[in-house]
Amino acid sequence: MNQAEFIKVISPFKDKVFRLARRLLVSTEEAEDATQEVLVKLWNNREKLSGYSSVEAMAMTMTKNYSLDRLKSKQAGEMRIVHSNYSDRQAGLQQQAEDRDSLQWAEKIMQQLPEQQRMIIQLRDIEEYEFTEIAKIMDMNETAVRVALSRARKTLREEMTKTHSYGIKKN
């Protein structure tokens, strides 16, 4: 497999690899490093890629494993666990401000979810993977994936309701 063929294979999912790493590692720099590591490993094994039914699923599994290893390593204590909030620089309307606030709250709540739920919600609701694919990536059965997703969504919904209800009562 030459470079052009390799790029053609990985291009459709390389951004998903980054987003999963970003979700797990929080730091953009760490996520970039993780993405680069996964792509280098894929490149080094490029001749074997045609033997896999889904290179994307393999890459997502590699990303998950690499990210979890990084979090467990000694260096994890040194990693900056800060979340940079993204702001819209356009002149904002009230709705844009409310949407941005809700998104920031959802991001904060997601960071508090258990690691497994955070990964499943990322893969299903953000990356739009099917349950069968998530089950393979997470090494779980589909029912367990559905239950974990349901619990994660319920927690998000409850926490968002608390946040917004609190804001209403406060005013």
Structure letter (DSSP) for residue 71: H
Question: What CA–CA distance (Å, rounded) separates 36 from 20?
Answer: 13
pLDDT of residue 91: 41
Which mean pLDDT values do the consecutive 10-residue runs of the chain (171 residues) have? 88 92 86 92 90 90 88 60 42 64 78 90 87 92 94 88 60 41
> For the chain, which domains are there?
1-82 (1.10.1740.10), 92-171 (1.10.10.10)
pLDDT of the residue at 2: 87
Contact (CB, 8 A) for 66 and 38: yes
Whole-angstrom CA distances from 110 to 102, 107, 117 are 12, 5, 9
What would you report as the CA-atom Rg of the chain, rounded to the nearest whole angstrom?
18
93: buried, middle or exposed (CB in 10 Å: 19+, 13-18, 0-12)?
exposed
pTM: 0.56
Which of 67, 100, 95, 61 has the alpha carbon at shortest distance from 81? 67
- Residue 42 has a pLDDT of 92
Q: Give the torsion through C-alpha atoms of 105, 108, 110, 112, to 10 deg.
A: -130
Q: What are φ and ψ of residue 13, in 5° steps? A: -125, 0
| Per-residue confidence (pLDDT) for residue 77, from 0 to 100 | 57
